[in-house]
């Protein structure tokens, strides 16, 4: 899991009905309790996006990718995924916890609930390796986890929802002594799958049991199930991450032996390699045994010269090719031995340096068809259980991408012609600005062509209420998207993205990189790392590059940023950034998106979808082509999206959606100073009361004008898309004005 930390910005807080920030009282009109009834999936609901999905996922064949790097249905038609991570149904038998759910989540209901809100793919992040219990073999699969995967695939398929299967993660992997894995039982498994033959053989055995045996809930093996869109090989592991330094003992020596063999093929002898390195040595070198050791990965994040640089180049190339070869071998096993027809993703992790090592990681993924990364958006969170829970006394910063859009988690450097997915992400609670998230993700996904963004995560079949992080400890959970801020603002965002209402832009950056520049860790002209400084790093850019200096990371907001590997750097191109970015404002290459960090807003302005996420206290009114939003509350998002595919100015059915801020009932936060590593400090917030259910939502104060003279009716909906009442509309020049209701999130306008 990756969280971006930036400057803090104090948010509104909630105590019962009043909105309070401890030291001051909010003068706004209050909040409303978010306590929706279970969805009955009424056929008369006015908001139900199930029809966007196929009747049965995969009915046109296996998901493919086209030459642009976009997903398509089996019949070749464009396929845009609105995606989530789910673990509903993973616990069998289910255990009721004193501070958690009191009823077992219903997997079938869950699938229907997600489809109604625009979801058409889920990710199953699981662990199919066996428990190291007495009598278990390393080649055994965990049967309970497999059953969960099988059941979930079947349930989702019926609602037109595809699956992405993530079956293995090195962090929870444990070894039994009887398995005779070199290095023993106490070692971490991170990094080992790339080269350890014992673990690799076991992994293939698990894959065989998972994919080749018949799924009893569908009647076919997963290998032949077109509702599975993507198979991930492994989660969050890389030889280019800091954890590689923890490979020690027998495993490090085994990897060093493979390195020695590789060097002999390249140089003829280890002595010749040593001469090329000008005698550069590492303490663990044992050339007599054919073993050559590795420099600490920190050295690979730095500029080096002489023999050290040459040795680091060989180390970089060896690690990259080791991962590439492993990824290729697993793809061949899945295809040839198991008959899997799905697209394959190698991994989704970050590196010790996005600038020096990020492109090498992505190159190793090119052995398969799909790229991925895990990238969360959130501020600082300090507390005794900050990895999983929020308790009183925790300190945090609440941040907004409107003020630093360079940190958007879909600002990705995409390998040209290949799909890329964000397989885990969220605006991590207790961040107070999550209602900006779905609109921003949908808008910039549409612009840049990022192919799936999987919101993380849920174990609830419908909404996730404020509740204990584990069902036992008094606390709030943090890894969620099922709150009103995010899940509540899915419908308009999902509709906008899946209908293709935001145009794909031409590339803002097309970088070509030679493999030799990758191995020597030459600085790219742009990287995903938020702290990338083009001035600081430009001096080490490969001299053959067509662009001689670094490109601002604001390019990610202009259009797609692409890279081609094993290509001529002289053909690198980048748009002139001063054409699109100036005075705190960045316009997309299509002209449809505008980000303004000075006034704190992003607008979407297309014929069929118009909206804004904003700090409305900085700029209350946003006039778009056909819609005007005027808000008197502090922060939130407002969208108008065509439901019939017609432009908003002529549409007969328009969804207007407003999201604000929410907190648990009785939540209280107060200003605090947060001390960071190294003695520095920032101003942030402290949780004085983590609150309880239900969520309370800041009441919106929004006036909406829609320039569509054919509209006749404004219907207020509940959170299940059912009719509540109507609101009056006032005729204005060319259209109508109405006041958005203060206790709802959805209004449907009809002609």
What is the pLDDT, as a whole number, of residue 241?
97
What is the pLDDT, as a whole number, of residue 186?
95
What is the pLDDT, as a whole number, of residue 678?
85
Q: C-alpha angle 448/369/65, rounded to 5°?
A: 60
Would you kindly state where each structural domain of the chain is located, as residue ranges? 53-246+317-498, 509-582, 586-750
**pLDDT mean over 153-160:** 98
CB 509 within 8 A of CB 575: yes
For 225-251, how does the pLDDT look when each residue is reduced to its tens digit (9 = 90+)? 999 999 999 999 999 999 999 999 999
Q: What is the CA radius of gyration of the chain?
A: 26
What is the pLDDT, as a whole number, of residue 540?
61
What is the pLDDT, as a whole number, of residue 693?
97
What is the pLDDT, as a whole number, of residue 459?
97
Split at pLDDT 50, 70, 90, the class of 530 is low
Q: Which residues contact 217 (CB under 8 A, 6 or more apart)?
A: 150, 151, 153, 154, 155
What is the pLDDT, as a whole number, of residue 22?
33
Bridge partners, residue 271, by sequence: none
For 476-497, how does the pLDDT look when each residue is reduced to its tens digit (9 = 90+)? 999 999 999 999 999 999 999 9
**pLDDT mean over 51-71:** 98
Instruction: For residues 393 and 379, give the distance between their C-alpha atoms in angstroms, rounded to a whole number.
Output: 16
What is the pLDDT, as a whole number, of residue 731?
96
For 532-556, how does the pLDDT look when each residue is reduced to its tens digit (9 = 90+)? 444 444 446 666 667 767 999 999 9
Instruction: For residues 162 and 119, give the distance between their C-alpha atoms in angstroms, rounded to a whole number.
Output: 9
What is the pLDDT, as a whole number, of residue 12?
36
What is the pLDDT, as a whole number, of residue 458?
98
Buried b (16+ CB within 10 A) or exposed e, 17-28: eebbbbeeebeb
Q: Is 487 left (phi over 0), alpha (psi -120 to 50) or beta?
A: alpha
Q: Which residues contact 693 (CB under 8 A, 6 or more apart)?
A: 35, 465, 466, 467, 664, 665
For 685-744, how does the pLDDT look when each residue is reduced to its tens digit (9 = 90+)? 999 999 999 999 999 999 999 999 999 999 999 999 999 999 999 999 999 999 999 999
CB 84 within 8 A of CB 114: yes
Per-residue pLDDT at 151 exceeds 70? yes
User: Any idea which fold 53-246+317-498 has?
Assistant: TIM Barrel (3.20.20)
CB 570 within 8 A of CB 544: yes
Share of the chain above pLDDT 90, in %: 92
What is the pLDDT, as a whole number, of residue 13?
36
For 68-82, how does the pLDDT look when each residue is reduced to its tens digit (9 = 90+)? 999 999 999 999 999
Averaged confidence pLDDT in the chain: 94
For 569-580, how does the pLDDT look when each residue is reduced to its tens digit (9 = 90+)? 999 999 999 999
Per-residue pLDDT at 24 exceeds 70? no
The residue whose two tokens read 């219990």 is 133
């Amino acid at each position: 899991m990756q969280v971006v930390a930036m400057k803090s910005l104090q948010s509104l807080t909630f105590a019962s009905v009043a909105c309070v920030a401890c030291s001051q009282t909010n003068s706004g009109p209050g909040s409303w309790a978010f306590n929706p009834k279970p969805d009955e999936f009424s056929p008369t609901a006015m908001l139900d996006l199930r029809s966007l999905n196929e009747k049965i996922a995969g009915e046109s064949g296996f998901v493919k990718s086209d030459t642009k790097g976009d997903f398509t249905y089996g019949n070749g038609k464009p396929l845009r995924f609105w995606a989530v991570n789910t673990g509903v149904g993973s616990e069998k038998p289910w255990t009721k916890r004193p501070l958690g759910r009191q009823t077992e989540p219903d997997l079938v209901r869950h699938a229907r609930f997600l489809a109604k809100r625009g979801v058409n793919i889920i990710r199953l992040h699981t662990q199919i390796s066996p428990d190291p219990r007495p009598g278990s073999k390393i080649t055994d699969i965990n049967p309970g986890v497999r059953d969960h995967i099988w059941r979930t695939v079947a349930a989702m398929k019926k609602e037109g929802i595809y699956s992405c299967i993530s079956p293995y993660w090195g962090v929870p992997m444990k070894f039994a002594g009887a398995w005779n894995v070199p290095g023993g039982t106490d070692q971490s498994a991170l990094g080992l799958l790339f080269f350890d033959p014992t673990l690799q053989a076991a992994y293939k055995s698990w894959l065989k049991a998972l994919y080749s045996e018949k799924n009893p809930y569908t009647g076919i093996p997963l290998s032949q199930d077109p509702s599975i869109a993507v198979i991930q090989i492994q989660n969050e592991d890389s030889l280019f991450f800091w954890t590689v330094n923890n490979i020690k003992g027998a495993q490090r020596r085994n990897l060093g032996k493979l390195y020695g063999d590789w060097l002999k093929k390249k140089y003829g002898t280890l002595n010749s390699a040593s001469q090329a390195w000008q005698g550069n040595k590492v303490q663990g070198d044992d050339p007599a045994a054919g073993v050559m050791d590795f420099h600490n990965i920190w050295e690979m994040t730095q500029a080096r010269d002489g023999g050290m640089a040459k040795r680091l180049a060989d180390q970089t190339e060896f690690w990259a090719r080791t991962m590439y070869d492993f990824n290729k071998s697993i793809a061949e096993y899945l295809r040839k031995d198991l008959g899997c027809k799905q697209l394959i993703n190698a991994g989704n992790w970050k590196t010790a340096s996005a600038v020096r090592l990020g492109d090498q990681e992505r190159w190793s993924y090119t052995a398969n068809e799909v790229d991925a990364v895990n990238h969360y958006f959130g501020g600082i969170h300090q507390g005794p259980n900050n990895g999983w829970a929020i308790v009183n006394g925790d300190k945090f910063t609440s941040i907004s991408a409107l003020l630093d859009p360079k940190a958007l988690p879909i600002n990705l450097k995409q390998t040209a012609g290949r799909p890329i997915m964000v397989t885990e992400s969220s605006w991590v609670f207790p961040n107070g600005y999550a209602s900006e998230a779905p609109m921003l993700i949908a808008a910039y996904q549409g612009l840049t062509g990022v192919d799936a963004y999987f919101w993380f995560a849920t174990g609830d079949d419908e909404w996730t209420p404020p509740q204990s992080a584990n069902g036992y400890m008094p606390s709030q959970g943090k890894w969620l998207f099922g709150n009103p801020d995010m899940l509540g603002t899915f419908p308009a965002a999902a509709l906008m993205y899946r209908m293709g209402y935001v145009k794909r832009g031409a590339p803002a950056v097309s970088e070509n990189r030679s493999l030799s520049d990758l191995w020597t860790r030459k600085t790219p002209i742009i990287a995903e790392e938020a702290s990338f400084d083009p001035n600081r790093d430009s001096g080490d850019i490969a001299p053959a590059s067509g662009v001689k200096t670094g490109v601002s990371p604001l390019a990610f907001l202009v259009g797609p940023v692409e890279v081609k590997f094993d290509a001529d750097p002289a053909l690198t191109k980048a748009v002139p950034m001063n054409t699109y970015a100036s005075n705190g404002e960045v316009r997309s290459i299509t002209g449809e998106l505008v980000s303004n960090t000075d006034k704190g807003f992003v607008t979407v302005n297309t014929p069929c979808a118009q909206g804004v996420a904003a700090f409305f206290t900085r700029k209350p009114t946003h006039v778009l082509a056909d819609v005007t939003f005027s808000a008197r509350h502090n922060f939130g998002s407002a969208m108008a999206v065509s439901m019939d595919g017609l432009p908003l100015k002529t549409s007969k059915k328009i969804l207007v959606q407003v999201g604000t801020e929410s907190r648990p009932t009785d939540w209280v936060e107060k200003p605090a100073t947060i001390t960071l590593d190294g003695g520095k400090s920032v101003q942030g917030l402290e949780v004085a009361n983590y609150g309880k259910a239900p969520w309370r939502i800041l009441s919106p104060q929004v006036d909406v004008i829609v320039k569509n003279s054919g509209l006749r009716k404004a219907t207020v909906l509940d959170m299940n898309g059912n009719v509540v009442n109507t609101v009056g509309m006032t005729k204005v020049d060319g259209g109508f004005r109405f006041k958005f209701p203060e206790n709802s999130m959805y209004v449907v306008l009809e002609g």
